[in-house]
Amino acid sequence: MSPVARPNDKNRRDTGELVDTVYQLAGQPKTKLRSTPALLLRALAVTNPTVRELLELQYEFQEPFIVDSNKIATKLGVHATPLDQALADTVATYRTNPSPERARIGVVGLLRPCL
């Protein structure tokens, strides 16, 4: 049986909280996460190969991702970068090294859509 993060873990965040943090760091107003109904995705997938791929990955978004670095920290002494610091560093990098694609869609446009 694999270890699971405890519901009362103070470091645990859901997708909405992560998106809020990224938007705040990027200086953008909060946004509302939305999902596309599965039936609509299936209809669009008939003619759109990208949407067809999203359908195949939909199972990944039905349960929360739980990331816990305690095991590797205990066994190898390696510690993860605190999430707030990693997000702040990433946003800062995007601002100082804008690629043409990032400049076109903006930092917050790089967020993965929630299915």
| pLDDT tens track for 25-39 | 888 888 888 888 889
Asked if the structure places residue 77 within a domain, the reply is: yes
Q: How many domains does the chain have?
A: 1
Greater model confidence, 18 or 110:
18
Asked if the structure places residue 4 within a domain, the reply is: no
Give the ranges where 1-115 is alpha helix by DSSP (H): 15-25, 38-45, 49-57, 70-76, 83-96, 100-105
The model scores a pTM over 0.75: no
H-helix or E-strand spanning residue 58: none
Greater model confidence, 46 or 66:
46
Asked if the structure places residue 1 within a domain, the reply is: no
CB 24 within 8 A of CB 103: no
CB 69 within 8 A of CB 52: no
Asked if the structure places residue 28 within a domain, the reply is: yes
Asked if the structure places residue 48 within a domain, the reply is: yes
Domain extent at residue 70: 15-110
Residue 8 has pLDDT above 60, yes or no: no
CB 38 within 8 A of CB 44: no
